Structure 1
């Protein structure tokens, strides 16, 4: 992958276009301290983070819609399908929270969070699902409610200066995928008992190991 991305960087240096790598290459002209390796690392991060996370959110969204009470049919009949799909995406991002751990922070000053003292230099790992399931923030937080009015207030993309730079791309991808599936596969249904589906094991990103489905009138 690194060799592939390096070849792309070199091609953009010769013939820049309207894309992210070209923009970084142009920034490199103004700031030579930005190295090819740093551009490659960013490109690799976007490829991995932009695929692994979005793919798992998509699988979970389909599961939530197909399992009883089968909201798939209800959603398809909505006149404003695009807005309803967006609501499903935000609620899936909140409820499933595919990024389980990994937001590592180091305390710069002493503080106390819910009676837990934290000293300067202590490392803290933020657990995003706990924030997205906070009962003081969300009503019935463990329930899938695609009509939840404040679902978009989740922290699945982070917050502040560390907010995920790919959040809008992820939403566009998910909207396109779900809308297409709802349109082309109206009779899509689960091929197995949803309670028997397995999730990934020993992984930072939460998602389904597989999601067997069938479609058609049979």
Structure 2
């Protein structure tokens, strides 16, 4: 059998395998085929990355992983190495066509938006969104975020007995904030939550990530059509008024979907896991309750320490490119571990555990890096800076309602999280 023919067969088998994952999600039989070098990027040991991740980073911060049927990918676990990949728009592509071509997925299933586009399309779309995410415009949301947080705290207090901080606090706060930002009906918030969570669930079966993207985009197409008829005061209405038909319905739906994807599940997970950090550090909870200057450094350390988004969107090498002395061939897929990079000893100078007194070095990668750095980073910070101190002030005596060992974390997920966090409030 010739080398060329063998390569074609291998590529075809690989596309079939990836298409199967796309259709059915990652079942236990599929997971057994994936190398641990890849799965370790999506696993945790409680709040910490698995030890194998640190060992891999120390040995080779850029390492090749052979996927089933001989397909190659590269895992990047170092801080500087991740910055080099994420910061090189001319060296690496995030265009959905790369993923579609490798996984046998129809190009029509592209979610659009910023995450799966390259310049010049990315540049044009980001230029449209950026004014809506400046601090000046975001400040108009501050009173509403504060009101949302207080409403949730009131509801928890009225409930009595143990409450689940995930479902009663961490999920509703960003969900309602995004409804406010986009200008869509509050009554849709439960659909928002499910659509956002499904795409990060690698065991999703028939609601696997790409299926969730399709459902979300279909919903936003309807929202966009309504905004075209009667533009509201939210982000979508503003874009319609200011840019008109220069942004078509599909692009606008993709942008809205990207805001949902980037701003809901990630912030919800950080609020939930950050609340657990407070429960584990009573002295920090008390400081946060009584000292306003504690809030900004606490939020930045929680973002770095938790790194809820464990892995960046896949990149594909545009050409043979060298990173930290390793040549990544043109067309190969590259996966950057954000949780690994944010614990790199060359960055934090210690084991990277939670330290509220740490002068967190500038430039953590919790929001990514480069042209694809999360455009909603400041909105997320606003929510966290309101939510954590408000929770600490209202319920300074809150404590876990179950033994710590009974807490259930996601076992394999791009966005790490905890399934529930039952607490006694007093």
Deviation at 1:100, TM superposition (A): 1.2
More helix by share: 2
Partner of 1:19: 234
The Cα shift of 1:8 comes to 3.4
Q: Paired residue for 1:46?
A: 259
Q: Which residue of 2 aligns with 1:77?
A: 290
SS for the counterpart of 1:25 is helix
1:4 to partner: Cα distance: 4.8
Cα offset, 1:113, TM superposition: 3.1
TM-score after normalising by structure 2: 0.46
Q: In the alignment, what sits opposite 2:344?
A: 134
Structure-1-length-normalised TM-score: 0.85
CA shift, 1:125, in A, is 0.9
Q: 1:76 to 1:28 in 2, by over 3 A?
A: closer
- 2:356 matches 1:146: yes
**SS of the residue aligned with 1:137?**
helix
The count of corresponding residues between Structure 1 and Structure 2 is 211
1:66 equivalent in structure 2: 279
Q: Partners in 1 of 2:281 and 2:354 — Cα distance?
A: 11
Measured in 1, the distance between the counterparts of 2:313 and 2:224 equals 29
Q: 2: CA distance between counterparts of 1:215 and 1:21?
A: 38
Match of 1:186 in 2: 396
Aligned 8 A contact 1:91 1:146 in 2: yes
Q: What displacement does 1:155 show?
A: 0.7
- What SS does the corresponding residue of 2:223 show, helix, strand or coil? helix
Please list, as runs of the form range in 1=range in 2, the aligned pairs for 1:1-218 lying within 5 A after superposition: 1-2=216-217, 4-26=219-241, 28-29=243-244, 31=246, 34-68=247-281, 70-78=283-291, 81=292, 83-216=293-426
Q: Is contact 1:157–1:163 with CA below 8 Å preserved after alignment?
A: yes
Structure 2 gaps, min length 5: 1-215
State the SS of the aligned residue for 1:62.
Answer: helix
Secondary structure at the residue paired with 1:99?
coil
**1: CA distance between counterparts of 2:331 and 2:220?**
36
Deviation at 1:2, TM superposition (A): 4.7
Query: Post-superposition shift, 1:27?
Result: 5.2
Worse-matched range after superposition: 59-68 or 4-13: 4-13
